[in-house]
Chains A and B, each alone.
Chain A
Amino acid sequence: MARRRGRGIASVNYPIGMNLGGDPSQALVHSNPGGKFTVALSSIDLGQGMKSVVRQICAEALGVPVEDVFVDTADSDTGPHCMGSFASRGTHRVGNAVIAAAEEARGVLLEAAAEKLEVDAADLVTDGRGNIHVRGAPSRLITVADASAAAQFEQGRTVSGRGIFLVPMSTPDPETGAMDPVTCYAHACTVAEVEVDDETGEVEVISIEAAYEVGRAMNPRLVEQQLVGGGWMGMSHALWETTEPYYPDRSHGPTDFNQYLMPGPGDICEQRFTILERPAPDGPYGGKGVGEMCSTPPIPAIANAIFDAVGVRIDEMPFTPEKILRALKEQGGAR
């Protein structure tokens, strides 16, 4: 009887968002009379940081300081439609919609500025610090605030824009059946190291190391936050969480947090990550998504590590001591 160490590896090709077409998100961007901008969404930030990322994306597309953009989310009465926050789709789908909306609003803003400066709007650029000036002539400038006020109080323009991102429908080729169901994949490879007690069947995760290819890391600290939390979730799915431990038998299901098991702060393992940036052609500034995706590869990596440690294949989650002991008994012990 011993604690046996094993190492497992798993890779993931993660399709961003829902597939086969559709999966739309919309955004509306407008300037208030003071020259600040509001992004109206019904997309939800449930802690993953969408508001921060959308704010960055909108400021970049408008050419204004990030401090001048406000993001109003999660009200489907006042924001345009969004499919929701799932499938790692927020950055990609909502980000693209926000770029489209911000570009339209920027077009109006530059028209308003051009009229004030008596130049062609095509000759204007923004400096990202709240000014619009003639390309190559930084002194011929107007502030974003003044241009926005002129649009709204002198020229009768709304400085606003609409954006939607919709994945084109993919239909199978009638001859070959080939289709292109997904426009954007993120990738990862995870190595898990575990110790399995062949007497009790208990698994301890020693470490999780992973490389994540996320397109462009729009906000590296938020990416890291998702990876650390997602690694924990993956470990939890692998070894702890279930609502039906003897599915399809519904008995012994947990009824509260005393029985619905998850790893606590004393159960976590060392996690190390490397982020690879390979911008996606159809992503907002190359961004993909890193939400749900990062909870998936720890699960097969831990299953493989258990096999490496004691030689049993557990293919139903969670990998409980009971399942491991039954498999070890059938196999005649660890090997």
Chain B
Amino acid sequence: MSHVTLDFRLNGTGRTELIAGGETLLSLLRHRLDTTSIKQGCRQGTCGSCTVIVDGEPRLACITLAATCDGCTIETAESLPGPGGLHPLQQAFMDHFAAQCGFCTTGMLMAAKALLAANPSPTREDVVDAISGNICRCTGYQPIIEAVLAAAGAGPSGAGQPGGSRPGVV
């Protein structure tokens, strides 16, 4: 298999890597560059846990050939925390209990970040659309949708479900 040189920016840092022609972005980022926020789930583009942002667009790293990313800007969840601490999306995920086992979480965060960059005031339907390629096995999605809406400033913070509320403790 032929090798090519790939120039790209990964989380703000310029990189040049020698890659095999058939190498996936998942393999390059997770296995060779140790960007382990990217989870290897299904490896066939059906679970979303490897979602990264390439030139502003959410992409499934497991079915993206690294060679197609020459000159691209790539963001992973490692880039989320800023000097002031957690990214608003990360804080909202914590506040809304939007993570349990955590396997989908980084992919969800990147799908949500791409959404908010393109649409800072999404509706609930916009959020559902944006994360519809990401499978979560634990949360039932509701807390994730609420977290994204809260991060966008569009949702009632601390509210329960669509039209719902915190359970009462009797």
Q: Which residues of A are at the interface with B, using a C-beta cutoff of 8 A?
A: 46-49, 217, 220-225, 227-233, 256-258, 262, 264-266, 268, 270-277
A and B contact pairs by CB, cutoff 8 A, 11 listed: A220-B167, A221-B97, A256-B44, A268-B141, A271-B142, A272-B165, A274-B168, A275-B168, A275-B169, A277-B169, A277-B170
A232 to B145, CA, bound (A): 14
A266:B164 contact, CB within 8 angstroms: no
Produce 1/0 per residue, B42-74, CB < 8 A to A.
Answer: 101011000000000000000000000000000
On whether the beta carbons of A47 and B142 are closer than 8 Å, the reply is no
CA distance A80 to B1 in the complex (A): 50
* Known interface pairs A257-B42, A272-B167; A48-B132 also in contact (CB < 8 Å): no
Known: A47-B99, A256-B44, A257-B46. A270 touches B170 (CB 8 A): no
Which residues does B use to contact A, with CB under 8 Å? 42, 44, 46-47, 97, 99-102, 127-129, 131-132, 135, 137-145, 160-170
With A47-B102, A256-B42, A257-B46 known as contacts, the answer to whether A231 contacts B168 (CB < 8 A) is: no
Q: How far is the CA of A271 from the CA of B167 in the complex (A)?
A: 10
Total contacts A-B at CB 8 Å: 91
Contacts A224-B167, A277-B169; A265 near B101 (Cβ below 8 A):
no
Using A229-B138, A272-B164 as known contacts, say yes or no to A265 and B144 having CB atoms under 8 A apart: yes
Q: Evaluate contact between A265 and B46: CB separation under 8 angstroms.
A: no
Identify the closest chain B residue to A264 (Cβ).
B132
Q: In the complex the two chains form, what is the Cα distance from A229 to B97 in whole Å?
A: 11
Residue of A nearest to B168 (CB): A274
Provide the residues of chain B in CB contact with A224, threshold 8 Å.
97, 160, 166-167
B170: chain A residues at CB < 8 Å are 274-277
Residues of A within 8 A of B131 (CB): 265
Q: Once the chains are docked, how many angstroms separate the CA of A269 from the CA of B127? A: 15
The docked-state distance in angstroms from the alpha carbon of A273 to that of B166 is 8
A257-B46, A265-B128 provided; 7 other pairs, C-beta below 8 A? A231-B140, A232-B139, A262-B135, A262-B137, A270-B162, A272-B165, A275-B170
Contact B141 A265 (CB under 8 A): yes
Inter-chain CA distance A166–B137, complex, in Å, is 31
Main secondary structure of the interface of B (DSSP, over half): loop
A268 to B32, CA, bound (A): 38
Chain A residues within an 8 Å CB radius of B162: 270
- Nearest 10 CB-CB pairs, A to B? A232-B140, A47-B100, A47-B101, A257-B46, A273-B167, A265-B141, A229-B140, A225-B97, A265-B128, A275-B169
Tell me which residues across on chain B come within 8 A of A271, comparing CB atoms. Answer: 140, 142, 161, 164
Partner of A222, one of B97, B127, B167: B97
Q: Given A222-B97, A265-B131, decide whether A217 and B140 contact each other with a Cβ distance below 8 A.
A: no
Q: How far is the CB of A46 from chain B (nearest CB, A)?
A: 5
Q: Which residues of chain A come closer than 8 Å to B46, judged between CB atoms? A: 256-258
Q: Are A225 and B139 in contact (CB under 8 A)?
A: yes
* A264-B135 Cα distance, complex, nearest whole Å: 7
Question: Known contacts A46-B101, A270-B163; is A228 also within 8 Å of B139 by CB?
Answer: yes
How many Å lie between the Cα of A167 and that of B102 in the bound state?
A: 32
For A46, the chain B residues whose CB sits under 8 A away are 100-101
A271–B142 alpha-carbon span in the complex (Å): 9
Closest beta carbon of chain A to B137's beta carbon, Å: 8
* Chain A residues with CB below 8 A from B47, complex form: 257
Which residue from A47, A227, A229, A257 sits with its C-beta under 8 Å from B167? A227
Give the residue among A225, A258, A268 with the most B Cβ atoms within 10 A: A225
Q: Among the listed A230, A231, A266, which residue makes an inter-chain contact with B128, where contact means beta carbons less than 8 Å apart? A: A266
- In Å, the complex CA distance between A273 and B137 comes to 20
Q: List B contacts of A221 (CB < 8 A).
A: 97
A222 to chain B, nearest CB (A): 7
A290 CB, nearest partner CB in chain B, Å: 11
B residues near A265, Cβ cutoff 8 Å: 127-128, 131-132, 141, 144-145
Interface-centre pick from B145, B160, B163 (highest chain A CB count, 10 A): B160
Closest CB-CB distance, B162 to chain A, in whole Å?
5
CA distance A270 to B165 in the complex (A): 10
Inter-chain contact A232/B161, CB cutoff 8 Å: no
B134 to chain A, nearest CB (A): 8
Contacts of A232 in B (CB 8 A): 139-142
Least Cβ–Cβ distance between A18 and chain B, in angstroms:
23
Query: What is the distance, in angstroms, from B136's C-beta to the closest C-beta of chain A?
Result: 8
Q: Give the complex CA separation of A232 and B137 in angstroms.
A: 9
Assembly CA distance A271 to B160 (angstroms): 9
CB distance from B169 to the nearest CB of A (A): 5
Residue of B at shortest CB range from A232?
B140
